[in-house]
Structure 1
Amino acid sequence: MTSPPVPGAVSRTSPFVGRSSAVAAILDHLRVRAPESGPPRVDLVGGDAGMGKTRLLTEVGGAAEEAGWRVLAGHCLDFSASALPYLPFSEMVGRLADREPDLFEELTRTHPALTALAPGRRIRTPGFQRTEDLDRGEIFDGVHAGFETLAALQPLLLVVEDLHWADQSTRDLLSFLFVRAFGSPVAVVGSYRSDDLGRRHPLRPLLAEWVRLPGVERVDLSPLGAPDVRRLVRALHGGPVRERDVNRVVTLADGNPFYVEELVGAHDSGGTSTIPEDLLDLLLVRLDRLDDDARTVVRAASCSGWRVNHRLLTAVTGLGDAALDRAVRGALDAHVLVRDGDYYRFRHALLAEAVHDDLLPGEHQRLHAAYVKALEEGVVPSTAAELARHAQSAHDIPTAIRAGIEAGEEAMAVGGPDDAARHFEAVLDIVSRHDQPLPDDVDYAVLVARTADAITASGQPARAVRLVEEHLDRAPADLPDVERARLLMAWANCALSNEVFDESSTATAQALDLVGEEPSRLRARALSLHARWLSATDHDDEAVELAGEAMAMAQRFDLASVVAEATTTLARIDERSGDLDSALAALEEVAESAAADHDTVGEMRGRYHLAYVRLETGDLAGAAEQFRLTAEAAERAGRPWAPYGFDARFHWALTRYVRGDWDGALEVADVTGQTPPLHAESLLACVAMLVRAGRGDLDALSYAEPVKAAWSGEGMTAVLAGSATIDLHGLRRDLPAVWRTYDDVVGVLSEIWNPHFQASVMLAALVAGQVATEVARASTAERAGLLERVDDLQSEVDEVLRRTVSRPLGWGPEGQAWTARFRAEALRGRWLAGVRVPAEDELVAAWTETVAAFEAFGHPYEVARSQARLAAVLTATGRPGAREAAEAARETATRLGATPLVDELGVTARPAKPARHRGPASTELTVREREILGLVAQGRTNGEIGKQLFISTKTVSVHVSNILAKLGAGSRTEAAAVGRDRGLLG
């Protein structure tokens, strides 16, 4: 006997997100943890297709089984008019027969009516003849009695899925069971698709009757909220995923878990279409239920987006009032559209997109043309963006150009650079593809510059550079000098924002020549821009001259933004020359003046450089405040990813990390619900990696590879991700991976920066620290080899220091701290390895200096790490101050949640003391003694063992004496041999 075919089961191991409270409420209502007899308690779970009803019922059934209930499940299937009566109950009986044949046989002897529902009795086989008929009453009584018998053995939960497909007999039997009392605990949970319950569906009135019964409750499964969808996306993806991609799923899925799974699956398999083909087919099935007029309405509505005004729909469909009302009613009854005030909207955003994508080319163009006509006639108030979108789809080129430019300007005015960039680019694309002239009042070069500005403001200066390059290459030879100058200046501005300095000189110099010698607004801008390039490439004397000329000309023409730019350039030159007071004062004035003039770009640039000067001088608190103000100004202006604005947010997050506000750093770095460019998301992810590495979260390694894609475009991602990855591999005791990470980072940054970049000192210090820690664990034969590459690191650090001496400001507090740290870690490694062993005074002094340097810099975590290693050295050399240093480090590590550092401090803060025995001595080795015996067997001396375990040599000697006595050994060699024989060295 076999059960009838049913849909595939859903595993409880699949992600279950956002429904825990619903499960708890159902289990509570069904009295699963406190079974009771009487009429069954019933929960009827409704929700749209794909809303997770099956997964929810699977979780409820699993929880009931764990609580000691027997669970019988059955499904209703879509057999249309040929539905098999009592199908879900037949499935329940068949499952019982398969799983517990003896119980089934006994049950059918006692209640023979159940035999009629057994699947084997319902399958047509050659020669089979039915010999008797049962009336409904016998079947109903038999089912009730059979379930009562089962419930007497253990509480019984009946699960009935897809009640919207239930046959009349099944519905009647359920009604019967819901009102009949049971002498033992019986409960029922069922599911149905609410979006399939049209006005005439037979289940609809029955549900209204059932919920009026005592013990019956209706549970509406609403869409998942955006946070739960994000959790589900990440759980399904199984690794890091860009927030932009997560947001796309959140927007398209409308909280439907099935849609989420399909969209994530398409993304993970490399799909490029907006909607997976299988999901598209499933969505469009709904249209097959509509008549022709209703399909016309739905297709017309899809061109408007996800919702449409009734008057606009009337205008574009051309249907009369009565026909339109009937068509809309049909779409509403089929749950394709829902009413939203004076609007109709699609029940799911994906459905709107699916319908629109399914339009035929001619149909698509005609419908959008109807929208253009209606909007231009003022049927409803509209925006330039709406008109531009419809005009582009209708191939109404003049309208698309005019409305597109207007829409771009509107978007820029309200802080929407992403939208502005899309509109402007669309116009440029139309002009180039259709050889269409621009309106008389629109300058081609100005439009390209506006487009580049919008793209840059959206956080993609590199793409802006490429766009202007393309238009420069296509520009006709007879392009007027002023227009060519505007294009060159637009390119240079983007290039400088993207730190492309090599070619900017040609562009800015050419632009300056093309604008002529006569004072003008354009020449003032060209002078300031060329001064920026000169300053960025260390041509300070020329930069000062041109910036001064630009400032004077800008003041003459009342160009506050140019004044701010030129002043900032001069202040940066003062800062590099060491005149910090002048630089700070000038930048303060620039920031305040620009803010008062509502010059967001000038304010951001001034504040960012002001923060950077404070950072360079070690004023972390002052830097953090200016970074915050800059980032907030960018956010208010709708330019959160623009140069200076995002740079400030990144440095704000990083500064909070450095200052020991790790939770604050994570808060600033969180991009949930935002759509950052790749480089921006990667940089913020790197800050989060630093925090997670400090807290010992090895899962943070999963971000290393995804972030690596941004290394070559943004060097700081390599520095920060490399730093975190080095520490994480160190926690895993994978020294080869530590070296690979270091080599990868240095290789990339040597190409895009220079072979002796300053951050290499920090990376070298981190690597040297991991090597020293591993030396302490290695055998005598391995130790010298581990240190070989550290000497190469020393040469690199020396070269970086030599080159840094020429800077007017010298080596800042951060650089000084990491230089001291590298020296201390290198000495620690040699001391532990017994290779070129430094004097104890030198070692202690190096770590004392390192602690002081990080204190001066203001980096509590690195202060604590340095204090921990200083404490270890003081302990091992028997010097005072170890406990104080260790406890200070422990306090910081505990506050930060830096678990690895707390673990490192475990021995140092509470050094082991020689055991004092009273009475007969134990012959069993303690954990510490077995550890020391293992090191003795490796040939370590007492001094080497003390260094590794951070205890004094005298303490090691006492332990060794105890070990020899307990093992009855006369020498260290004999003790090692006895230890091996007794299995103590495993």
Structure 2
Amino acid sequence: MISRSGQRSVFVGRSLEFSALTEAFNSMLDGSGATVVVSGDAGMGKTTLVEHFAESARKRGAQVHWGRAHEHAGAPPLWPWVQIFRSLSESGVIDKELVGSSGADPTDLAGLIPDEDGSTGVDESVSSADSTAQFRLFDSVNSVLRAVSQNTPLVIAIDNLHWADTSSLKLLEFVSHELQSSQVLIIGTYREAESRRGSALSESIAELARTPGFSDVRMSPLSRDDIRQLVLGFGGAAPPEALVDAVHSHSEGSPFFAHNAIQLLGNRGKLNEQAFADTADWDIGIPAGVKDIIGRRIDDLSEDCVLVLRSAAVVGREFDLQVLVSLFPESDEDQLLERLDEAISAGIINESQVAADRFIFDHDLFRQTLESDLRLSRRVRLHSRIAASMDELFGTSDTNYAARIAYHYRQADSVADAELVAAACIRAGRVASNAYAYDEAADHFGAAVEILEDTAEEQALLARALDGRARALFALGRIPEAFEPTRRAFEKYLDVGMATQALDILSVPLPQYGREGMTKLLERGIEVATSDTETFSLLLSRLGAARAHELWEFGIAEQAFQDAIAAARAAGSKRAESWAYGRWAMVSPMDWRKVQELSEKALDVMPPGQDFELEVHCRIWLGEAFYHQGDIDGGLREFRRSEEIAIKARNPMRAAQASMELALLMRLQGRWDECLAREDALGFKLWDRPFGSHMAQAQIYFTTGQTDPAKAAYARARALVKSRVSGVDQQPYSAWSNSWQIGISGLLGITGDASFIDDVPAGELWSTIPEDVANHPALAQRTDLLTRVSVAGIIAIVRNDTETSKIALDLLRQYDYPVGLLRLNQGGSTDRFHGRLAVTAGMPDEALGHFESAHKFCSENGLVYDHAWTCHDLAKLLIDERWDIPRALTLIGEGVQIAERYEIRPLVDQLTSLRSNVPGNATQHPDGLTDREVEVLKELAVGKSNREIAEALFISQNTVIRHVANIFSKTGSANRAQAAVYATGHDLQ
């Protein structure tokens, strides 16, 4: 740590921690970006370590730029990053030319890069909650930092991550993930005690830990020798051992405690040779606790100085002279500056390096101690005066103060005017939204809503607060939560005669699936809207989607779409007409020919280049239509095009949706590594995707026989569901039941392991098919009902439930498309699924027809997974029924060849076992060698390498390695030479 007393400065200890930072720095210089977090308790010297390392990095040619989070919730959104970009700008590292050449959009960075007048605020008069805007900001930050690092190595230091806002942490995650191949080192500090499980910080640390180049440096206490060096650095004379022992035992190695204990002794003239000789019992002179030692240092200050510092402590870790002047009208600036100079000399505060007339407490423990000396009533009134002062000084001129003003008003809500508090929260929410800090925006708007609930005369203000919260929640992807504030904002706007705003809030694209009340809300909007306008048409098409998804009224929904098309044409709006066709396609998922027709119409009508969101929506549904009808290449083409458009439009949610579709089709084609990479990346892009990604990864790993990573991925998915049910953001189990049971069913279809069923609560398990589902007249159109039937069917197969299998098969015959029956069982062949149901139902003749159709379709269309498994299913049926043993053996060989080439290891084992159990077909090879192992042994015996064997047998090198290991084990060979001798001796050349 660094100790400071007058001109003295000494760094002691921390060699291991410093080496870890240096190692990360060296790696960064080689082009491997790294992220290091330094953790430890308060006062352990985290910041001091990084400051000292930063000096070393500067001497080695790196640019170092700092951002610091502060304890008070009143810091502006993304405040650490605002400070970093302000520092980059002021030092001339970034300018308009660099931003332009980096590919970043200057408008996205408006809240971070200072204007010519030095401000970094954003316009709070217009609140936007574009779900893609935060991604665009993050992407622009990444582009600028990458561009800077191409000219000079860059170190970004963020202090006090435990106090950082959620948006700042998300940006840290994004940048750390994206800058792995750059000369950027990111260092963050945080207190371990404040990174409790379930907190935003703990989730960020867990996410960062998945990033290559990440390390967590944990601060340990100072040693006795470190304390000796520290005392020597302050006093200049060798300290007596009794003093070293006293400081070390009292401080328990805490640098902050030790530093302040030693400085207190120094201030009182006890760090010199004479004092060392005169003092026998050093325990008497050293306070017993951190608060005591801080208290004694404060006691050395004048009463007037302490009075000013207590008020400053309520302002925050950083405070402005102007605010103090307003709090002490009886004192002039010179008097206040004298008192602040006294505190600076005592090491309690320092001048800020960011702006003139701004000060910062040297450590937040000083601020906390001073603030705790004030009674609650006094603190509340100080917060009120501080809020009013900041509002007057900065309220309209500097949006960076909006969150601070709101914070102080909220702390004073018991004595402040409710309208003032709410208005400040709304203003802070708008500023946060325009800075793309949607978590903070949702909190500010939510606070305003809570304050205004019982204020009958402020309904317009309440409507604005509800509006802002709805848009922020939507932008965060917390779409189900956004519905209620949307509904209430709409109603409040109408109540106060603000019809334009009421219709505008309905533009927030909330989901229709299972959303009770959406239909009524849209019907009211249509009553208000002017007919034959674009808005009227868009509301009608949304109403059609709501009627289909909420009420399942498909006939009425179709009429709404037709009316929407007519209204769009009357208004001359091609965009609204295209949306009508696109939404119509979205509600027809069980009729894929119709989905294709409607999607193609939407694309044909769509004005070119005007609405990327619309084009991506339509192309994704067109890709779905191609895929379900068996045109895998057509599906891939449209999904790739959708992804390209979404990336160009910088829309991460749509890009991730397209990537998710591509990942599914890649699984069908056996492209496991590509699929795993996409699923891993998807966790960064979609708000609810980590669950789906973990489950998809578990399915892929189980498919390829990688049991340990499969179980780990499944455990992550299960933990996520449990956190949603019982964690901090509790949701009813039913909210996750659909996705969870589909995921479980996928695992059942792959593994046949019934133990997965135990992870679904018994009362929620879809293991039976209720009569109202089986007899529903619209079953063929109801995705929810078909999902339930399909899940019950897969459970029936695993449990060998004949009766449920019969019912499921009879009902699912209504689905006559070849691929992707609700994406169960890897989203593959419908006929294979029907065939498995027929086998379980005791209907072998029907099963034969389904398996033959599945085999033909999968082999012709490249559905590798289903092709290989259908070979198994069909061969087993032919063997069990004694219909065609030679054909069965041919199918087994075909399946083994595919399974080995694509590393579907569990299937290889099952096919090998199936073949060995065919009467009269037991292996004739010595020592239990399989046919494939003999083929590999013959190639090995003539001196071929693993790569050459793989090429000769059309299998992967990993499969060859596995076979060679089995050969060594079965034949007792220690190496390839001994295996070749074995082959010669058994005539296997």
Question: Structure 1-normalised TM-score?
Answer: 0.51
Alignment size in residue pairs: 645
1:282 Cα offset (Å): 9.6
| Cα deviation 1:316-362 (Å, max 9, x = unaligned) | 788722322442565568xx999778776788999989998997353
SS of residue in 2 equivalent to 1:320: helix
**Match of residue 543, structure 2, among 530, 533, 540:** 530
Is 1:585 matched up with 2:600? yes
Give the gaps of 5 or more residues in structure 1: 1-17, 26-44, 54-158, 179-189, 206-280, 772-786, 831-835, 918-924, 929-986
The offset of 1:848, in angstroms, is 4.6
User: Greater relative contact order (Cα 8 A, min sep 6): structure 1 or 2?
Assistant: 2
Structure 2 residue 485 is matched with structure 1 residue 467:
yes
Corresponding residue number in structure 1 for 2:739: 717
2:343 to 302, 324, 327: 327
Gap regions ≥5 residues in structure 2: 1-15, 24-37, 47-220, 242-250, 267-287, 726-730, 774-778, 931-989
- Counterpart of 1:459 in structure 2: which amino acid? G
Partner letter of residue 366 of structure 1? L
Instruction: State the alpha-carbon separation in 2 of the partners of residues 195 and 893 from structure 1.
Output: 59
CA contact (8 A) 2:313 2:368 kept: yes
Structure 1 counterpart of 2:562, from 520, 523, 545:
545
| Aligned AA (1:713) | A
The correspondence for 1:860, drawn from 861, 864, 873, is 864
| Cα drift, residue 567 of structure 1 | 4.5
CA distance in 2, matches of 1:861, 1:739: 27
Measured in 2, the distance between the counterparts of 1:419 and 1:431 equals 19
> Taking structure 1 as reference, are residues 843 and 325 closer, same or farther at Cα in structure 2, changes over 3 Å only?
same
SS in 1 for 2:458: coil
Q: Which residue of 793, 803, 811 corresponds with 2:805? A: 793
What displacement does 1:314 show?
7.7
Of 422, 428, 446, the match for 1:425:
446
* Cα offsets for 1:107-151 (capped at 9, x unmatched): xxxxxxxxxxxxxxxxxxxxxxxxxxxxxxxxxxxxxxxxxxxxx
Superposed CA offset, 1:465-485 (max 9, x none):
223455678x59x936764x9
2:716 is aligned with 1:688: no
1:425 partner SS:
helix
Give the match for residue 748 of structure 2: 726
Instruction: Summarize the Cα distance change of 1:658–1:552 in structure 2 as closer, same or farther, 3 Å threshold.
Output: same
CA separation of 1:825/1:549 partners in 2, compared to 1, >3 Å: closer, same or farther? Answer: closer
Name the structure 2 match of 1:261: none
Q: Which of 777, 786, 792 does residue 758 from structure 1 map onto?
A: 786
Change (3 A) 1:408 1:570: same
SS in 1 for 2:809: helix
Correspondence list, 1:429-444, <5 A? 429-435=450-456, 437=458
Letter in 2 for 1:362: R
Give distance in 2, aligned partners of 1:655 and 1:331. Answer: 64
Q: 1:525-565 CA deviation, whole Å, 9 max, x = no partner?
A: 54444344456542254224321233135447xxx864553
Q: CA deviation at 1:716?
A: 4.4
Cα pair 1:750 1:757 within 8 Å, conserved:
no
CA 480–169 in structure 1, closer or farther in 2 if over 3 Å, else same: closer
Match of 1:821 in 2: 832
Q: Do structure 1's residue 698 and structure 2's residue 715 form an aligned pair?
A: no
Report the counterpart of residue 181 of structure 1 in structure 2: none
Q: Which residue of 2 aligns with 1:198?
A: 259
- CA–CA distance in 2 between the matches of 1:46 and 1:410? 31
Matched residue, 2:966: none
Q: What amino acid does structure 2 have at the position aligned with 1:860? A: V
Per-residue CA deviations over 1:488-507 (Å, capped at 9, x if unaligned) read: 8857x679614246644433
Please give the alpha-carbon distance, in whole angstroms, between the structure 2 residues aligned to 1:284 and 1:622.
Answer: 69
SS of residue matched to 2:735: coil
Q: Say if 2:298 is the partner of 1:291.
A: yes
CA contact (8 A) 1:659 1:859 kept: yes
Q: Give 1:885 shift.
A: 1.8
Aligned-pair identity (%): 18
Cα distance in 1, alignment partners of residues 424 and 622 from structure 2: 40
Q: Secondary structure at the match of 1:437?
A: helix
Tell me if the contact between 1:649 and 1:668 (Cα under 8 Å) persists in the aligned partners: yes
Maintained 8 Å contact 2:473/2:482: yes
- When residues 672 and 828 of structure 1 are mapped into structure 2, their CA distance, relative to the original with a 3 A threshold, is closer
Return the offset for 1:363.
1.5
Partners of 1:283 and 1:623 lie apart in 2 by: 65
Please say if residues 496 and 533 of structure 1, whose CA atoms lie closer than 8 Å, have aligned partners that are also in contact.
no
Q: 1:926 to 1:324 in 2, by over 3 A?
A: same
Determine if contact 1:446/1:486 at 8 Å carries over to the other structure: no
Separation of aligned partners in 1, 2:505 and 2:457? 23
In the other structure, the counterpart of 2:511 is 497
CA distance in 1, matches of 2:626, 2:373: 58
Rounded Cα–Cα distance in structure 2 between residues aligned with 1:516 and 1:298: 60
1:718: how far off?
2.5
Structure 2 equivalent of residue 75 of structure 1: none
Hey, what does 2:165 align to over in structure 1? none
The 3 A distance-change label for structure 1 pair 871 and 194 is farther
> Of 903, 906, 910, which residue of structure 2 is paired with 1:904?
910
The alignment partner of 2:259 has SS state of: coil
Task: Tell whether the 8 Å contact from 2:577 to 2:602 is kept in structure 1 after alignment.
Answer: no
Per-residue CA deviation, residues 434-460 of structure 1 (Å, 9 max, x unaligned), is 44537xxx7865664454233223222
Shift of 1:851: 3.6
Matches within 5 A, 1:737-816: 737=758, 744-746=765-767, 757-760=785-788, 763=791, 766-767=794-795, 770=798, 787=800, 789-802=801-814, 804=815
The CA deviation at 1:637 is: 8.2
CA distance in 1, matches of 2:367, 2:702: 44
CA offset at residue 310 of structure 1?
7.5
Secondary structure, aligned partner of 1:886: helix
Partner of 1:29: none
CA distance in 2, matches of 1:356, 1:613: 64
Which amino acid in structure 1 is aligned with residue 445 of structure 2?
F
After superposition, the C-alpha distances for 1:26-52 in whole angstroms (9 at most, x for unaligned) are: xxxxxxxxxxxxxxxxxxx99866869
Partner AA of 2:810 in structure 1? D
CA, structure 1 residues 469+844, in 2 after alignment: closer, same or farther (shift >3 Å)? closer
- Contact preservation (8 Å) 1:547, 1:570: no
What pairs up with 1:101-180 in 2 under 5 angstroms? 161=223
What's 2:382 paired with?
366
Letter in 2 for 1:688: Q
What is the Cα deviation at residue 392 of structure 1? Answer: 3.7
Q: 1:166 to 1:397 in 2, by over 3 A?
A: same
* Matched residue SS, 2:734: coil
Matched ranges for 1:656-667 at <5 A = 656-667=666-677
| Matching residue of 1:246 | none
* Shift in alpha-carbon separation, 1:727–1:516, aligned structure 2, 3 A: closer
Name 2:899's counterpart in structure 1.
890
Structure 1 residues 625, 900: closer, same or farther in 2, change over 3 A? same
Residues 847, 660 of structure 1: CA spacing in aligned structure 2 closer, same or farther, 3 A cutoff? same
Q: Give the whole-Å Cα distance in 2 for the aligned partners of 1:46 and 1:583.
A: 56
1:479 aligns with 2:492: no
**Where do 1:822-861 residues align within 5 Å?**
822-825=833-836, 838=844, 847-854=851-858, 859-861=863-865
Task: Pick the structure with greater CA Rg.
Answer: 1
Distance 1:203 1:748, change over 3 A: farther
